[in-house]
């Protein structure tokens, strides 16, 4: 059985990019693997969060994990800050990281914009992510495409430390990416990734959006003037993004969807995509409502933190011993 680990930040409304790129894989993997899914609240404070909002968002993400189909009997679900091992291992890994490699991370460059006042947390963010993964001897990390560089860094750190001590201190993990959901683009600008923080709410579809909001976002999505439904990332990024979303929600191959809509206009295609999306999200919204304020949710997180701590403590003993820390 392989060990799977991944995390989502509690920074706002989870959108269909997060779902199709990451959460959908979480569910697929839970039957055949030992899965550990984290709500990475310590990552979220790399940028200031309003404490009350953060508390709410942590439980929102946990409830969404369960609403999309994660079963706490099969998967371990917990909140990162409840397991001290993440911060402990992060420091050890920080001391094995190079400032050069961290300054080359595209997410750091995008978010810091070269400013002296950029928080140091955005610089060391990928090290904390590597700690999350290595703490659990993870084999597989299901994520969206935007995390490829961070996974590479995590692998480099594991290999570097294993080589230094000439033994397998850490398992070297592999990323896992979806075929049609790995990179969902913004609906209003298909050159940018769909994001929780973009100012235009019509740029994204959140998992808890009402059918009316879903319709508005899809019907106003940016396309092109050619009028044919054809997958072409270079020439037709808007339509290609909608085809990806259609494919990921319906399970149909992109080629089959192209055939289905041969000779049809964008209006008809978009109308059907609204239906496909609304149908896919309705059960998630319903289950979220049932679970969000339940004892089932808080019990699952308590149980998850206990299980995670048990694994984490073992790893930290091994790591401290390897590095000669403690007495
Ligand atoms: P955002 O940029 O949307 O604010 P994020 O990427 O900073 O979110 P998370 O919420 O932690 O941060 O992402 C959770 C998971 O969703 C990650 O595996 C990430 O790769 C994936 N993901 C985020 N955006 C997209 C997207 N547009 N398409 C596919 N996967 C995505
Ligand atoms: N960096 C990720 C969130 C994240 C994560 C992780 C993903 C934090 N720790 C460990 C997978 C494994 C993001 O911003 N999307």
Q: Is residue 193 part of a domain?
A: no
Is residue 13 domain-shared with residue 149, that is, in the same domain? yes
**Over pLDDT 70: what percentage of the chain?**
100
The minimum-distance atom of ligand 2 relative to the CA of 129 is 9
86 in the same domain as 30: yes
What pTM was estimated for this model as a whole? Answer: 0.96
Ligand 1: residue whose CA is nearest its atom 1: 195
For the CA of 6, the closest atom of ligand 1 is 18
Task: Measure the CA angle with vertex 33, ends 30 and 38; round to 5°.
Answer: 60
Co-location of 86 and 208 in the same domain:
no
Total domains, the chain: 2
pLDDT at 207: 97
What was the pLDDT predicted at 179? 85
264 shares a domain with 300: no
Which tens digit of pLDDT belongs to each residue from 94-141?
Answer: 999 999 999 999 999 999 999 999 999 999 999 999 999 999 999 999
Q: Is the pLDDT of residue 268 over 90?
A: yes
Say what the pLDDT of residue 182 is: 86
Domain identity same for 50 and 131: yes
In a domain, 146, yes or no: yes
Q: Is residue 122 part of a domain?
A: yes
138 and 63 in a common domain: yes
Mean pLDDT of 272-276: 98
Kindly indicate the confidence band of residue 238, based on its pLDDT and cuts at 50, 70 and 90: very high
User: Are 311 and 229 within one domain?
Assistant: no
In the predicted structure, residue 65 carries a pLDDT above the cut 90: yes
Tokens representing 125 are 């963010």
> What residues make up the domain containing 277?
201-288
**Average of per-residue pLDDT across 4-33:** 96
Interval 66-82 mean pLDDT:
98
**CATH code, domain carrying 207:** 1.10.240.10
Q: Is 195 within a domain? A: no
pLDDT digits (tens, 9 = 90+) for 159-194: 999 999 999 999 999 999 998 888 999 999 999 999
Q: What is the pLDDT of residue 295?
A: 98
191 located within any domain: no
Are 53 and 157 contained in the same domain? yes
Burial string for 273-291 (b: 16+ CB within 10 Å, else e) reads bbebbbebbeebbebbeeb
Residues 137 and 278 in one domain: no
Instruction: Please tell me the total number of residues recorded for the chain in this structure.
Output: 327
* Phi/psi of residue 36, nearest 5 degrees: -125, 120
Q: Assess if residue 168 is contained within a domain.
A: yes
Task: Point out the residues that are catalytic.
Answer: 111, 193, 196
CA of 34 to the centre of ligand 1 (A): 22
Same domain, 230 and 85: no
Distance 18 CA to ligand 1 centre (A): 5
List Cβ neighbours of 17 (8 Å cut-off, separation of 6 or more): 144, 181, 183, 184, 193, 194, 195, 204
Q: Whose CA is nearest to atom 18 of ligand 1?
A: 143
At 97, which CATH number? 3.40.50.620
Residues 154 and 230 in one domain: no
Q: Using the predicted structure, report yes or no on whether residue 197 has a pLDDT greater than 90.
A: no
129 C-alpha to ligand 2 centroid (Å): 6
Q: What is the pLDDT of residue 139?
A: 98
Radius of gyration of the chain from Cα atoms? 21
Average pLDDT, rounded, for the chain: 97
**Which residues does 218 contact at the CB level (< 8 Å), separation at least 6?**
187, 205, 242, 270, 273, 274, 277
What average pLDDT does this structure show over 19-25?
A: 97
As a whole number of angstroms, the distance between CA 236 and CA 223 comes to 7
What's the CA-to-centroid distance between 172 and ligand 1, angstroms? 22
Q: What is the pLDDT of residue 12?
A: 86
Stretch 17-41: mean pLDDT, rounded? Answer: 98
Minimum-distance ligand to the CA of 35? 2
| Within-domain flag for 196 | no
Return the sign of the alpha-carbon dihedral for residues 55, 56, 58, 59.
positive
Looking at the structure, tell me whether residues 172 and 210 fall in a common domain: no
User: Has residue 190 been placed in a domain?
Assistant: no
């Amino acid at each position: 059985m392989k060990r799977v680990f991944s995390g989502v930040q509690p920074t706002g409304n989870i959108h269909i990019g997060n779902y199709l790129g990451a959460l959908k894989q979480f569910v697929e993997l839970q039957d055949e693997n030992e899965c550990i899914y984290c709500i990475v609240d310590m990552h979220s404070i790399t940028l200031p969060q309003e404490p009350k909002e953060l508390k709410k968002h942590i439980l929102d993400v946990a409830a969404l994990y369960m609403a999309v189909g994660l079963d706490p009997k099969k998967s371990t679900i917990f909140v990162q800050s409840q397991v001290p091992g993440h911060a402990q291992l992060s420091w050890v890994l920080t001391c094995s990281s190079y400032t050069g490699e961290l300054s080359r991370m595209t997410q750091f460059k995008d978010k810091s914009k070269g400013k002296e006042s950029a928080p140091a947390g955005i610089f060391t963010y990928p090290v904390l992510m590597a700690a999350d993964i290595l703490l659990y001897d993870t084999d597989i990390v299901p994520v969206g495409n935007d995390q490829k560089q961070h996974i590479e860094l995590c692998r480099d750190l594991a290999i570097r430390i294993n080589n230094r001590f000439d033994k397998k201190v850490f398992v070297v993990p592999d990323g896992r990416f979806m075929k049609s959901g790995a990179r969902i683009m913004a609906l209003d600008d298909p050159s940018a990734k769909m994001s929780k923080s973009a100012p235009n709410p019509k740029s994204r579809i959140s998992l808890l959006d009402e059918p009316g909001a879903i319709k508005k976002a899809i019907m106003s999505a940016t396309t092109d003037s050619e009028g044919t439904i054809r997958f072409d990332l270079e020439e037709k990024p808007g339509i290609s993004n909608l085809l990806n979303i259609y494919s990921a929600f319906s399970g149909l191959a992109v080629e089959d969807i192209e055939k289905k809509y041969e000779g049809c206009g964008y209006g008809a295609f978009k109308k059907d995509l609204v239906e496909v999306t609304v149908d896919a999200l309705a059960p998630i919204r319903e289950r979220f409502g049932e679970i969000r304020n339940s004892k089932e949710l808080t019990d699952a997180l308590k149980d998850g933190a206990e299980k995670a701590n048990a694994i984490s403590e073992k790893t930290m003993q091994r790591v401290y011993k390897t590095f000669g820390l403690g007495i």
